[in-house]
Amino acid sequence: MSLLLAPMEGMLDFVLRDILTRVGGVDRCVSEFIRVTDTLMPERVFLRYMPELLHGCQTAAGIPVRPQLLGSDPICLAENAAVLVQLGAQGVDLNFGCPSPVVNRHRGGSALLEEPELLHKIVATVRRTVPDHLPVSAKMRLGLNDDTRAEECALAIEAAGASELVVHARTKRDGYRPPAYWERIADIRQVVRLPLVANGEIWTVADAQRCREVSGCHSLMLGRGMVANPALACAIKGAETTLGESSTLPWPQLFELIEQFWILVVRHLDRDQQTGRLKQWLNLLRRVYPQAQEAFMALRLFHDPQDASPWFVKQRKLLCLGPLVA
C-alpha cells in the first residue's frame, strides 16, 4: 500500500509537509498547486511552492515530493513542466480537482471536468514534454456539478498517457461535505487500467479500511485526516512499534512537533501569516486532541507572533520537557 499526502492550498505547504513526514507512514507528497496562466514561471515561483527542489525533491525526512501544476493551456503547462524537470522534479502532477470558485471561473481545476477533450490534450502535451522515465500523474474530482462524466474524464486522462490518477470521491458542488462516494471510484476502476488512488473523507484507520474495500484501491491519499491526526498514516500501516496500542501520538510528542512547526513558520512565512497558520493547524488538531482545543482557545486572539512564544515556553515547562532542540 502507498499512502500519499494530499496538496491542500493554504494549509499543507512545505512547512507542514516537513513536520508531518517526520512522523512516518507517508510514501509521497504532492505540492500545493502552482497556477500557470500564459507565462513561463520564473524559477523563484517554483521554489516558493516547493523548496524541496533544492534538496533532491524530498522533505527533510527523505519523503519524495512531486510538484503539481494547475491551468488550462496545454502548451504553457508543458513548458512549465519542462522547467520543473530541469530543476530536478522527479515527475509532474496535474490538478483537475480544485473546487475554488476563483480557479473554476478562470477555467482551472474541477471546471475542466466539463471538458474531457481538453483534459486529454493537457495530459498528452505534458506527457510528450516530460521524459518518458518520469511519471505524469493527475488528480480529479468526480465532476463539477454532478458525476455523470467521471468515467469519461478518467478514460481521457488514461488515454493521454497518465501514469497514475488520484480520484477525490466528491464533485466540486459537494465541496468537502461528507460523505465521499468511494463506490464511484470502484466504477471508474471498471473502465480504466491505470493505477488509481482513492481520496476523500479518510479520518481514521476504519475509514481507510472501508475506503479500500469500497473503492477497490490499494493506495490512498490523505488530506485533512492526516492534518488532524499526524499519526494516521502510521496507524493505517499498522506501525505498532511506533505507536503501541494507540493510533495517535501522545500529546507531549505532538506538542514538540507543533513547536517545531512554529519555528519553521516564523523562519519562512511572512509575519502577518504566522499566527494564522498556527491557529489553522490547531483548529483541525482539536478534532482529535482535547489539548489542542485548549491551545486553540488560549491562542485564538493572538495576532503578534511574539505573543505566542511565551505560551510555548510555559507549555514546555508544564509538560516537563527538556531543552528545545530547534
CA nearest 44: which of 56, 34, 31?
34
Give the orientation angle of helix 116-129 with respect to helix 150-159, to 10 degrees. Answer: 20
Cβ–Cβ < 8 Å for 211, 182: yes
What radius of gyration do the chain's Cα atoms show? Answer: 20
Cβ–Cβ < 8 Å for 26, 63: yes
CA nearest 256: which of 214, 305, 316, 213?
316
96: helix, coil or strand? strand
Q: From the CB of residue 145, how many other CB atoms can be counted at a distance below 10 Å?
A: 12
CA nearest 139: which of 45, 47, 224, 30?
30
Q: Single out the catalytic residue among 57, 76, 98, 211.
A: 98
Q: From the CB of residue 50, how many other CB atoms can be counted at a distance below 10 Å?
A: 25
Q: Which segments of the chain are extended strands (E)? A: 3-5, 28-35, 65-70, 92-96, 136-141, 164-168, 196-199, 219-222
| 211 is a catalytic site residue | no
End-to-end CA distance of the chain: 33
Residues designated catalytic: 98
